[in-house]
Amino acid sequence: MSAGRAAVFAVTSAKGGVGKSFFAPNFAVALMRETRGRVVLVDVDLEWPGDALAPLGTAPPRRALSDLAPLLASLPASMLKGYLDVHPSGLSYLAAYHTPEQASALDSQAVSGCLELLAQAFDIVLMDLGTGFGPFNQACLDLASHIFVLLTPDLYAVNHTRMGLERLQALAFPRQMVSLVLNRHDPKSEFGPAAVEARLERPLAGAIPEDAAAVAQSLSQRGLLILDTPAGVPQAPSPAVPAISGQSDLVDQIKLKVHERLLGEMDLKNLDLEAAKDPAKAQALRQETKRNIDRLLDEEGAALSDRDVRQRVAAEILDEALALGPLEGFLADPSINEIMCNGARTIYVEQKGRLVLTQARFLSDKHLRATIERIVAPLGRRIDELSPMVDARLKDGSRVNAVIPPLAVDGALLTIRKFAAKPLGVADLVGFGTFNQAISQLLETCVKARLNMVISGGTGSGKTTLLNVLSSFIPANERIVTIEDSAELKLGQPHVCRLESRPASLEGTGEVTIRDLVKNSLRMRPDRIVVGECRGAEALDMLQAMNTGHDGSMTTVHANTPRDALRRLETLVMFAGFELPSRAIREQLASAIHLVIQQNRLPDGSRRVVSVTEVAGMEGDVIIMQDIFTFHQTGVDQEGRVQGGFLASGFIPRFMTTLEEKGLSVPREIFLETYA
């Protein structure tokens, strides 16, 4: 219900026969006298209509919801006072319908519209709902600012009420939004208010003693039995926006209290590890955690009187407990490529190529650390003061890097590079302008011809994405071994062996490096070896593999130009510990590598292949390189997007002979400078 509108009360019960419809009209008049406001009683019991209006002692109502619903678009709220029936006490009232045929028109949408209109003309709208918490009643309760649940002191009514309260809790209705009213209690009975409270584990807002004679007289004479407002039942609240709205600090305090209590009551770290291996356990853990959160919010969240706020807070705490908390929304957003947490309170994202500071934040440094541990623990990785840096991955393949104090001076740092749920294909990259159709055709042919390739680029330039696309061109009948620090490549071929490095254990043992995996892959009879990134001594083993029958292998390297890529590989080979002459290393490079593909991230955030370069051999001590295609920037448009195009150098690569010998070719005209 919108701000500035009426308070909407709902009277309901979990079991029939508890006096709900007798209580509703009497309570409506009591509220009207207490608040001196305009009150309307609405009969919304579609199964047994009219019960709530019987004690009013008036002629059959002239107006009903079924009459009002068709007039919503044309009847102004100012005319409702004269349109509705009015009791001599001043209470306005509205029946549900006149004939059973009219009931079919009263769906939840029609009733919602009627209540919205009534809320513009009255201070308090009191709904008398049917029994139970089915879909229609739930839709009506969604409109309520407070709910009164009636019950009687008998075992069946109490048990039904307990189940009804559990249903309301599961639907995220705040505990403070529901008042229990015990009707027809016998002061001499042992099963009195105290016993009911103990059984329900909730306090009663009020208790109405049994007075059969008075009730019988009221019904027989069709007159109201005015009841005082039950002790403890809230007075009609002013129709204002709940105090919690916008008060993010207060919400954070409640979330922090509930989160800390939850961690104190549940061993989520170990339960998470068990659930990661068994989907059934994961679902059971989620349900149990949700129940505990609802219970703790009832105890700690008295200020969360708004149901929407409570529902959001409960979902956020659940994400914080079992998922990645404030990062979940960013992970689900396809327009976000990278998430960067600079401590608990500062979270940036890269969205459409630009860095954006978000309003999201973790509850505390401890919460951020717990999130990092939740990511790395199932992978057998560790992060602590002795090992304060870690590389890991999420279930979808997204790459994760984390650094914690003492290395991270101002708090833990977490960086997530998202991995698309559906890997990008060559058509996608052509569509994005990463390269054009001519380059696509050349690269596909080179992969099929088993030329060795190195993809070079800076951080975040899209090297892994391009490697994944090029790997997709490998024929399905070949055995492919992929080697990565964090497994990101998603190849569609049927014969793929994925290997992932492993850090040392707490005792400093058990480390398996990329170099170890490259050496081992040579014993696995691979047709192709694809190394996610060369960054150490494995460069030597990769070159030897390329030079000893494992043609068509691919890797990536961090460098700003194709020439820098070869220099970097030369340096990495030296890390292997062999005192090889520079010329010998360069000869290995010139013999092993056929193509260097340079991909850069441009100022507007776009990723482009800026050059495709052939390694054409040696002249003296220098490796000869020749550009085949380059990207030429011509300017920037009004929106800051880089303008330009791909140009052929006019050089026909030497490997064209190799392609043709293998029965593969590309049109030679694509190498002409004039080709478009």
For the stretch 470-489, pLDDT in tens is 999 999 999 999 988 877 78
Domains and CATH numbers, the chain: 7-220 (3.40.50.300), 248-417 (3.30.450.380), 426-503+510-671 (3.40.50.300)
Strand partners, 598: 456, 611
Query: What is the pLDDT at residue 276?
Result: 64
Q: What angle do CA 162, 165, 169 make, to 5 degrees?
A: 140
**Amino acid making up residue 430:** V
Indicate if the pLDDT at residue 628 is higher than 90.
yes
Cα 575 to Cα 439, 589, 623: the distances in Å are 34, 15, 20
Query: What is the pLDDT at residue 52?
Result: 63
With cut-offs at 50, 70 and 90, classify the pLDDT of residue 277: low
Exposure class string for 239-276: b at 16+ Cβ within 10 A, else e: beebebeeeeeebeebbbbbbbbbbeeeebeebbeebe
The two structure tokens encoding residue 658: 């190799």
**Amino acid making up residue 289:** T
- Asked if residues 177 and 31 have their Cβ atoms less than 8 Å apart, the reply is no
Distance CA 114, CA 125 (A): 11
Indicate if the pLDDT at residue 214 is higher than 70.
no
Distance CA 483, CA 541 (A): 13
Mean pLDDT of 363-391: 83
Mean pLDDT of 81-89: 79
Distance CA 506, CA 383 (A): 10
Half-sphere exposure of 518 (CA within 13 A, CB side): 27
> Which residues touch 525 (CB under 8 Å, ≥6 apart)?
479
Name the pairing type of β-strands 146-151 and 178-185: parallel
Name which residue leads in pLDDT, 200 or 231. 200
Query: What is the pLDDT at residue 342?
Result: 94
Per residue in 138-194, pLDDT (tens digit) is 888 888 888 999 999 988 889 999 999 998 888 888 888 889 999 888 877 778 888
Strand partners, 498: 482
With cut-offs at 50, 70 and 90, classify the pLDDT of residue 281: confident
Helices (H), 190-335: 193-200, 212-220, 248-265, 268-275, 279-300, 307-322, 328-332
With cut-offs at 50, 70 and 90, classify the pLDDT of residue 384: confident
Mean pLDDT of 447-461: 92
Residue 671: phi and psi, rounded to 5, are -90, -5
How many other C-beta atoms can be found within 10 angstroms of the C-beta atom of residue 47?
A: 11
DSSP state string for 338-350: EEEEESSS-EEEE
Query: What is the pLDDT at residue 478?
Result: 92
Name the pairing type of β-strands 453-457 and 595-601: parallel
With cut-offs at 50, 70 and 90, classify the pLDDT of residue 12: very high
Distance CA 53, CA 22 (A): 9
Indicate if the pLDDT at residue 122 is higher than 50.
yes
Mean residue pLDDT of the chain comes to: 82
Indicate if the pLDDT at residue 227 is higher than 70.
no
Indicate if the pLDDT at residue 581 is higher than 60.
yes
Least confident of 263-267, 434-438, 540-544, 648-652: 263-267
Query: What is the pLDDT at residue 71?
Result: 81
Exposure class string for 640-676: b at 16+ Cβ within 10 A, else e: eebebebbbbeebbebbebbeeeeeebeeebbeeeee
Query: What is the pLDDT at residue 346?
Result: 92
Note if the bond before 61 is cis, omega within 30 degrees: no
Query: What is the pLDDT at residue 223?
Result: 43
- Asked if residues 362 and 435 have their Cβ atoms less than 8 Å apart, the reply is no
DSSP helix/strand/coil, 569: helix
Mean pLDDT of 97-118: 81
Residue among 510, 416, 426, 409 nearest 468 (CA): 426
With cut-offs at 50, 70 and 90, classify the pLDDT of residue 242: very low
Indicate if the pLDDT at residue 222 is higher than 50.
no
The residue count of the chain comes to 676
- Asked if residues 262 and 292 have their Cβ atoms less than 8 Å apart, the reply is yes
Residue among 544, 439, 534, 554 nearest 491 (CA): 554
Percent of the chain with pLDDT over 70: 88
> Which residues touch 127 (CB under 8 Å, ≥6 apart)?
8, 9, 10, 11, 42, 44, 115, 140, 143, 144
Least confident of 445-454, 516-525, 558-567: 516-525
- pTM as predicted: 0.57
- H or E element, residue 417: strand 413-417
DSSP helix/strand/coil, 403: strand
Query: What is the pLDDT at residue 615?
Result: 94
Mean pLDDT of 510-522: 86
Cα 217 to Cα 51, 187, 212, 222: the distances in Å are 16, 21, 8, 8
Name which residue leads in pLDDT, 616 or 36. 616
Secondary structure (H, E, C), 211-222: CHHHHHHHHHCC
Residue among 361, 362, 365, 340 nearest 350 (CA): 340
